Structure 1
């Protein structure tokens, strides 16, 4: 999912919670588990790496790394109860980004153009989101870059994959140092994510975008609804 359209955490995070991992630690473990898959996808897309408009890839990477570290620290400072409360809303934001992010980016691109300094500021904010949760952050990056770069959006997949991995890289280091990772579950998911990350990038070169989009949106919408029911239904029943 991450290699094809984003949203892989919609699968990994609920699976870890269902396995009994507390929500904050499940989110940290999910980030660690999906990280090698993201690196594999970035390697598969390496031929397309380059600047985004007038902004160098190095500057974007630095902004993303700083934001990713801040987001990871913010997650570690969040209690499990607070994260459980906000998680359905994070999933909803990610689902809406997957559903409408590209269309919104195209609509904004037709009306506005932003400068490189503004892109770096937004990239830092997306890095924070990526380090904290990260669902559909790649789609958000592409939508924002569309205001700067007139290239075909598909050609932005390579920098998107690399910078999502950059946010995850600094978050992974932070979570490991903080002992926030549940290793048995994480290692099992990590091995499969490496295969899926590389294989997904290869499938993405050939598969129908319509089929990929429909399948991704169906999965993310159902999971988001399930978490809203899980979190808020008990309170409503009482």
Structure 2
């Protein structure tokens, strides 16, 4: 890699870490940066997942108090099993996908993630409306299946997974936003952890790019946390939406144009 590629990966990692801390949607910045640096699509996706993985662990730890108040054996444990199995399945599915096929899927995956992010607030209000659901201390079959499917997607690609999980957790019987955020952070850390381990064992990680990107994501996450006190959320969300739609159109043109 030349200096331009190194700068691109560091910049993509910084922007990804910062946007995840500020408004979400960091994958829209970090994943295309790896592709632009010439890394193969499957390896770029695996490397991107590992680069953003530490943030999911720290967020889950920060919200551990909310998790302690939830039923463990009847609710959290089945959800964790679904995240574990789905994350592993998604990671294996990615490894079985050829670079050519995954490259053709990229525009559709970016479009799905962009749509989810664009309408995330409306979706969150819809699925967490207390008039729709009754809070339950036990996870039912539908809730388990929804989380399994979300985890499968998260292990395969990941962008937009948080919005999907909000809907899944609401279906699984949670109505309080603070609880949903805490569970979402825990399950995201499980999905990324098992997918990360799968990618490492399979040798799908581009280690030079990962070592270059990690400092960028860490510093970006810290700076994003500091900037969150000053920048309006609406501006940040508008930026992510603009980037998401622009990248979706760009990759549709590149792949199918």
Alignment-derived partner of residue 5 in structure 1: 23
Deviation digits for residues 115-154 of structure 1 (CA, Å, limit 9, x no counterpart): 7222121111111000000101011111332342221x35
Alignment-derived partner of residue 106 in structure 1: 125
Structure 2 alignment gaps of length 5 or more? 1-18
| Pick aligned residue for 1:119 from 143, 150, 153 | 143
| Pick aligned residue for 2:184 from 160, 163, 176 | 160
CA gap 1:144/1:5 in 2 versus in 1, 3 angstroms: farther
Three-state SS of the structure 1 residue aligned to 2:185 is: helix
RMSD of aligned Cα (Å): 2.5
| Pick aligned residue for 2:162 from 138, 143, 160 | 138
Contact 1:91/1:135 (8 A) holds in 2:
yes
Alignment-derived partner of residue 181 in structure 1: 205
Query: TM-score when scaled to structure 1?
Result: 0.86
Query: TM-score when scaled to structure 2?
Result: 0.80
Deviation digits for residues 38-74 of structure 1 (CA, Å, limit 9, x no counterpart): 2233334444435679963333222111100000000
Q: For 1:178 and 1:7, locate their aligned partners in 2 and report how far apart those are by CA, in whole Å.
A: 27
Contact 1:102/1:143 (8 A) holds in 2:
no
Q: How does 1:19-98 map to 2 (within 5 A)?
A: 19-50=37-68, 56-98=75-117
Structure 1 alignment gaps of length 5 or more? 234-238
| Pick aligned residue for 2:174 from 136, 149, 167 | 149
Alignment-derived partner of residue 32 in structure 2: 14
What's the CA shift for 1:198?
Answer: 4.8
